Amino acid sequence: MSTPVFEAMAVLSPSTALLTKTLHPKITTNHRAPIFINKSTAKHESNKIIRICSPQLSSTKASAISGSPGIEAGSGLVSEDTTNILDTVEVLDLNGNAIPISDLWKDRKAVVAFARHFGCVLCRKRADYLAAKKDIMDASGVALILIGPGSVDQAKTFSEQTKFEGEVYADPGHSSYNALQFVSGVSTTFTPKAGLKIIQSYMEGYRQDWKLSFEEDTVAKGGWQQGGIIVAGPGKTNISYIHKDKEAGDDPDIEDIIKACC
């Protein structure tokens, strides 16, 4: 039987789960049972995760520095080079059609969320967090979009499982993540806050999809990729808000997003 600590570590990174399974062959992580039985157990296990997931345990540094919520494009953090690169990036819709990513907001305003990967429990919670405000977005003519680094099949599964009410696209090559310089690295994944957010998400009923998490294109990246949220359009180069996750589960204030989009 897996322990809550190993399970939480596996949620953060599929590669770590593979390592723990190698070191502890009897440990399994591909189940959907709740991590914790009650709040006292959760509190006890959260202390374990804080000790285990300390950034001091890793010497790997993030590939970029996270921005803060609500950054105007004109501030220089979204450079002309970035918007030019984005104009060359394509994502895939659920039918496998390639679409230039900037076309998603060329003729409209859109809130675009970038997931860590399609099996991520924290990303499933974020999808609900954004969808809860979709009525406000709809009233303002703003589209809600989620992009994930994975295959079209993974995107379809995510859409079917979560019943996400927005549009879903796949970015198999992580090109949009690279263009926007979203952070990636061990030190952005194993943090005390991320561990506690996983505990909270599981207690609220959210679950990791282990099958999606262990598919080759997710494991190959180590599960270290972080995402973010932008508000863009109308106009290809019009990015009026950007939040770059500093760590897994780094959700911005939803009211900041609503102010930027609506």
* Statement to judge: residues 131 and 163 lie in one domain: yes
* Statement to judge: residues 233 and 162 lie in one domain: yes
For residue 40, which amino acid is it? S
Q: Is the pLDDT of residue 251 over 50?
A: yes
The CA distance from 53 to 12, in Å, is 10
**C-beta of residue 164 within 8 angstroms of C-beta of residue 158:** yes
**Per residue in 213-247, pLDDT tens?**
888 878 777 678 999 999 999 999 999 999 999 99
**Per residue in 77-102, pLDDT tens?**
578 899 999 999 999 999 999 999 99
Q: What is the pLDDT, as a whole number, of residue 13?
A: 56
Instruction: For residue 66, tell me if it sits in a domain.
Output: no
* Statement to judge: residues 132 and 198 lie in one domain: no
* Statement to judge: residues 25 and 91 lie in one domain: no
* Statement to judge: residues 113 and 80 lie in one domain: yes
Task: Give pTM, 2 decimals.
Answer: 0.74
Q: Which domain holds residue 208?
A: 4-61+189-217
The residue behind tokens 């954004």 is: 130
The CA distance from 160 to 127, in Å, is 13
**Per residue in 168-203, pLDDT tens?**
999 999 999 999 999 998 889 889 999 999 999 999
Burial annotation 71-96 (CB, 10 A radius, 16+ → b, else e): bebeeeebeeebbebbeebbbbebee
Instruction: For residue 197, tell me if it sits in a domain.
Output: yes
The CA distance from 69 to 67, in Å, is 7
Q: What is the pLDDT, as a whole number, of residue 11?
A: 56
Number of structural domains the chain divides into: 2
**C-beta of residue 67 within 8 angstroms of C-beta of residue 242:** yes
The CA distance from 140 to 164, in Å, is 19
* Secondary structure percentages of the chain, helix, strand, coil, to 5: 45, 15, 40
Instruction: For residue 117, tell me if it sits in a domain.
Output: yes
The CA distance from 11 to 18, in Å, is 11
**Per residue in 118-129, pLDDT tens?**
999 999 999 999
Higher-confidence residue of 69 and 213: namely 213
Instruction: For residue 249, tell me if it sits in a domain.
Output: yes
The CA distance from 10 to 8, in Å, is 5
Q: Name the burial class of residue 70, with classes exposed (0-12), middle (13-18) and buried (19+) by CB atoms within 10 angstroms of its CB.
A: middle
CATH of the domain at 232: 3.40.30.10
Instruction: For residue 167, tell me if it sits in a domain.
Output: yes
Q: What is the pLDDT, as a whole number, of residue 261?
A: 97
Q: What does the pLDDT average to over 70-75?
A: 42
* Statement to judge: residues 139 and 46 lie in one domain: no
Q: What is the pLDDT, as a whole number, of residue 176?
A: 97
CA distances from 200 to 62, 123, 203 (A): 25, 13, 5
Instruction: For residue 68, tell me if it sits in a domain.
Output: no
* Statement to judge: residues 179 and 139 lie in one domain: yes
**Per residue in 130-150, pLDDT tens?**
999 999 999 999 999 999 999
Higher-confidence residue of 251 and 53: namely 251
